């Protein structure tokens, strides 16, 4: 668990704090996406967890322990860190990059080699093909995968990700978000993710923490922000796509009625998102889809999209 208790940070010479009295808890095994306008204090918040930035007030607790009382070097070895553009060592091979922290921790060579291959496999890179390449010989998305493999290599309980997919093209980014999100969930990592991308925050965050001027505007599960924005700022930030974003998070099986559809209807997988179902309805000009053994109707989609205040 990561906990911020009344955390404040003012950089020298700044006229206002970068982070002001922040209270936020990231539960064990969950991902919290920090989002908000440029300069609202997201990176500063993240960097106080591994003591790259020291707070002026309040406490940051990792696993119940104040990080101020933990030696920064050992603290950082226990926390994975993924940055935009990754910061891989350019003159070292992919394998050597992934081996960095296990090497610093003094693991045996055979254990490191085994771990490197397992991590590359985990992030979808065939070790025999990629282990000996240099970072320059990879695509941006592949480099980002190596960055995640390196951050996970020593099996840290906590992962900090600062704009991890910012430098990746949009198509590769969508896949990375899905795949890396699934990996982090399956490994039950406790993650703080800083992002500018609202879709990424909604897709990867179990909770989304929206910041404004160093304070928390609203934090909660994505559905809650979408359904009940705390104020006009949150509503504006989420923009005009709230209804579609809600549909993206709903599964067809949750809305389909149990009555079977007549056979000639186009089909949609029950696990698909309702947003995909809506796309299918628009593309095929139908108001009903066969969803497993049931039926999904446009009326049900419309009801689900309707916001409580609409």
Residues of this chain that bind ligand ATP (CB under 6 A): 11, 14, 18, 36, 38-44, 196
Q: Mention every residue, 6+ apart, whose C-beta is less than 8 A from residue 297.
A: 257, 287, 288
- Residue 139, judged by CB atoms within 10 A of its CB (0-12, 13-18, 19+), counts as exposed
CB of 53 to ligand ATP, least distance (A): 8
- Phi (first) and psi of residue 72, to 5 degrees: -55, -40
Smallest distance from the beta carbon of 43 to ligand ATP, in angstroms?
Answer: 3
Residue 209 CB, shortest distance to ligand ATP, in Å, is: 12
d(CA 106, CA 114): 14
In whole angstroms, how close is the CB of 44 to ligand ATP at the nearest point? 3
Looking at the Cβ atoms of 236 and 287, the one nearer to ligand ATP is 236
How far apart are alpha carbons 54 and 8 in whole angstroms? 9
Q: Which is nearer to ligand ATP, 14 or 283 (CB)?
A: 14
CB closer to ligand ATP, 94 vs 191 = 191
Q: How far is CA 54 from CA 61, 98, 277, in A?
A: 13, 28, 47
C-alpha radius of gyration, the chain, whole number: 22
| H helix runs in 239-307, sequence order | 242-249, 252-255, 274-284, 298-305
Nearer to ligand ATP, 20 or 75 (CB): 20
Of residues 11 and 89, the one with the C-beta less far from ligand ATP = 11
CB of 11 to ligand ATP, least distance (A): 3
Do the beta carbons of residue 305 and residue 251 sit within 8 Å?
no
Q: How far is the CB of 236 from ligand ATP (least distance, A)?
A: 17
Residue 36 or 222: the one with the smaller Cβ distance to ligand ATP is 36
């Amino acid at each position: 668990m990561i906990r911020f208790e009344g955390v404040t940070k003012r950089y020298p010479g700044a006229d206002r704090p970068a982070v002001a009295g922040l209270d936020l808890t990231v539960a064990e095994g969950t991902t919290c996406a920090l989002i908000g306008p440029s300069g609202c204090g997201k990176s500063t918040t993240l960097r106080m967890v591994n003591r790259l930035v020291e707070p002026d007030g309040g406490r940051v607790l990792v696993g119940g322990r104040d990080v101020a009382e933990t030696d920064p070097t050992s603290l950082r070895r226990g926390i994975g860190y993924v940055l935009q553009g990754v910061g891989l060592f350019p003159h070292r091979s992919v394998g050597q990059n992934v081996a960095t922290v296990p090497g610093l921790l003094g693991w045996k060579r055979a254990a490191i080699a085994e771990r490197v291959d397992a991590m590359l496999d985990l992030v979808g890179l065939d070790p025999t093909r990629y282990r000996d390449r240099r970072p320059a010989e990879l695509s941006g998305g592949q480099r980002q995968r190596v960055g995640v493999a390196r951050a996970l290599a020593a099996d840290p309980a906590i992962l900090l990700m600062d704009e991890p997919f910012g430098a990746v093209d949009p198509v590769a980014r969508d896949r990375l978000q899905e795949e890396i999100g699934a990996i982090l969930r399956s490994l039950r990592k406790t993650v703080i993710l800083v992002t500018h991308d609202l879709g990424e925050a909604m897709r990867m965050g179990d909770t989304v923490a929206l910041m404004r001027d160093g304070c928390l505007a609203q934090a909660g599960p994505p559905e809650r922000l979408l359904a009940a924005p705390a104020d006009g700022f949150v509503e504006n930030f989420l923009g005009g796509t709230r209804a579609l974003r809600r549909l993206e998070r709903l599964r067809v099986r949750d809305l389909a009625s149990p009555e079977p559809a007549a056979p000639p209807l186009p089909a949609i997988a029950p696990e698909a998102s309702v947003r995909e179902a809506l796309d299918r309805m628009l593309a095929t000009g139908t108001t009903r889809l066969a969803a497993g053994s049931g039926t999904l109707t446009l009326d049900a989609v419309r009801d689900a999209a309707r916001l409580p205040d609409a």
